[in-house]
Amino acid sequence: MRCGQMLRLAVAVLGLAPLLVLGGCGSSSSDLQSVAHVVPAPAATVRTARCLEWQQMSREERASLVAGMRKFFGGMVDQPGMRGQVLAGAKAYRVIDGYCAPAYARYFRLYRIYGDAAAFEPAPGR
């Protein structure tokens, strides 16, 4: 397997930064450019978003992310007819804004913040 192919595989599978993988390769900048076209940077999702992205998101992106978390956490649970706990929209924003305010929180995952806070909300239908 050529070094360029290994680089693409490492970036695609492991999400490694190309410069970290190039250490053992005699690669050129053209390899980096081809990888950038093959593996686009992912947008922040419910699963991957961190406080750092939250701080940089537009109002519409934040609304979409909160709606995604509400849908995920409000899904079916193991009891028939029951759904998971969710936060009201305004409360979700207050909780996330509060936890993400300190500089040290930039790498906190938003789904953890939201999920932990939602766990203290009354269960729907109870």
Q: HEC states along 60-105?
A: HHHHHHHHHHHHHHCCECCCCCCECCCCCHHHHHHHHHHHHCCHHH
Best CA proximity match to 98, nearest among 115, 83, 88, 110: 110
Q: Which helix (H) or strand (E) holds 18?
A: helix 18-21
Mean pLDDT, 10 residues at a time, over the chain (126 residues)? Answer: 51 44 49 45 78 93 92 86 88 96 96 94 69
Return the pLDDT at 37.
46
Return the pLDDT at 93.
95
Q: What is the pTM assigned to this prediction? A: 0.63
Return the pLDDT at 76.
86
Return the pLDDT at 69.
93
